[in-house]
A and B are shown apart, each in its own frame.
Chain A
Amino acid sequence: MHIPDGFLSPAIAIITFAVTIVFWMISFRKVKNNLDESQVPIMGLLTALFFAAQMMNYPIVGGTTAHLLGSASLGIILGPFAGCISMTIILVLQCLLFGDGGITALGSNALNMGIIGVFTPALSLMVLSKVSKSKGLFLVWVFIAAFLGDVLGAIAAGVELGLSVPTFQYGLSIAVPAMAINHSVIGVIEGVVTVVLIATLLELRPDVLSKSPVLKNILSPHDANQSKT
């Protein structure tokens, strides 16, 4: 899903950069002086973990492959603003060190994976949890939230490419369905991975989840503070 240089029209590249810069500024402002000391190593760890997870390419439909984003886990566990910063660090280093994603498309890649991919799961989980606070449904909501984050991020990439008609000549009618269909498969895997990670943390490190700006209001104090150690 990393868009290289030369795929986006200059107008789309500039607009996506502008939107992304606004989100970066808001995220840094929100996280500054709000990030708990105990979240610092977890933020480093999750960022490194999902950078590594992005190196695994899974075969999906029609001989194509896709990789996990990790945006959903970052957004839900760290909160959308810290998650956005984590994803940005991954995308910047991938772009500068490995040429994975172009420098002119960095705004677009950050918008799709670091903003839409991070904020959608966080916000949809908060909304879904208000629909039903059932403990049994919690992990179902996590799955749906992670799936939505992946698919909406891919649809956004399709829209940006589809609107970049002079360079990417397919248009919206081809680019959007192609990205959405293929990424809905990896969205299912993203959903499963997010559920497994959150269920594991809920069992072994509920204290980590209790610091999450997204989960602290969803999980009961009993779930959040109970630790097996």
Chain B
Amino acid sequence: MCLFITKNNNSTIQKLNRRTVVTGLVLAALFVIVGNLVFSYALETLDIQAELLELTGENLLTAPFPEYIIPGLEENVWASILLGIAATFAIFAVTLLVARLLRKRE
């Protein structure tokens, strides 16, 4: 009986987690779309201060997708959205991998 309850609870948690994860990932994809279409303009306090000091703020490493843009597709906002969504899923996968390695083992 006790085992049944435990199994049942685990499967409920798994189902709940699956639904929560799917909802959350859809929400994350929406954030990426809104971020690219509506809230894309970025001018942070640091940018203004750096501009006044004539600091370039160029990074030492060359990033493959600088400023969240695919090189050659700078004007294509949907390419940036796809990149953002792919990166979001990649971060989900990387974190899952790290968390699985760190998780408590029965």
Q: CB within 8 Å of B: which residues of A? A: 1, 3-7, 28, 31-49, 51-53, 55-59, 63-67, 82, 85-86, 89-90, 93, 95-100, 102-104, 157, 161, 167-170, 174-175, 178-179, 182-183, 205, 207-208, 227, 229
Are B45 and A178 interface neighbours, CB within 8 A?
yes
Q: Which residues of A contact B25 (CB under 8 A)?
A: 45, 48-49
Contact for A98 among B17, B58, B68, CB less than 8 A? B68
Contact for B21 among A7, A31, A41, A51, CB less than 8 A? A41
Are B93 and A207 interface neighbours, CB within 8 A?
no
Contact for B53 among A1, A45, A99, A169, CB less than 8 A? A169
Q: Which 8 A-B pairs have the closest CB atoms?
A: A99-B63, A55-B35, A48-B92, A4-B57, A52-B28, A52-B31, A44-B96, A56-B35
Are A102 and B59 interface neighbours, CB within 8 A?
yes
B6 to chain A, nearest CB (A): 12
Give complex CA distance A229, B17 in Å: 12
Q: Which residues of A contact B79 (CB under 8 A)?
A: none
Q: Which residues of A contact B35 (CB under 8 A)?
A: 52, 55-57
Residue on A with the closest CB to B80?
A: A55
Contact for B17 among A34, A35, A41, A174, CB less than 8 A? A41
For window 31-55 of chain B, which residues contact chain A by CB distance below 8 Å?
31-32, 34-36, 38-50, 53, 55
- Given A40-B103, A56-B39: A96 and B58 within 8 A (CB)? no
Q: Which residues of B contact A42 (CB under 8 A)?
A: 17, 20-21
Are B49 and A65 interface neighbours, CB within 8 A?
no
Q: Which residues of A contact B12 (CB under 8 A)?
A: 229
- Given A7-B55, A48-B24, A65-B44: A97 and B87 within 8 A (CB)? yes
Residue on A with the closest CB to B34?
A: A56
Give complex CA distance A40, B99 in Å: 5
Give complex CA distance A36, B105 in Å: 9
Q: Across the A-B interface, how many residue pairs have beta carbons closer than 8 Å?
A: 201
Q: CB within 8 Å of A: which residues of B? A: 12-13, 16-18, 20-21, 24-25, 27-29, 31-32, 34-36, 38-50, 53, 55-68, 84, 87-96, 98-100, 102-105
- Given A41-B96, A53-B31: A35 and B16 within 8 A (CB)? no
- Given A57-B39, A57-B40, A178-B45: A168 and B53 within 8 A (CB)? yes
Contact for B104 among A34, A41, A104, A178, CB less than 8 A? A34
Give complex CA distance A137, B102 in Å: 34
Contact for B98 among A66, A89, A100, CB less than 8 A? A89
- Given A45-B21, A45-B24: A170 and B43 within 8 A (CB)? no
Residue on A with the closest CB to B85?
A: A52
Residue on B with the closest CB to A88?
A: B98
B54 to chain A, nearest CB (A): 10
Q: Which residues of A contact B42 (CB under 8 A)?
A: 57, 65, 67
Are A98 and B60 interface neighbours, CB within 8 A?
no
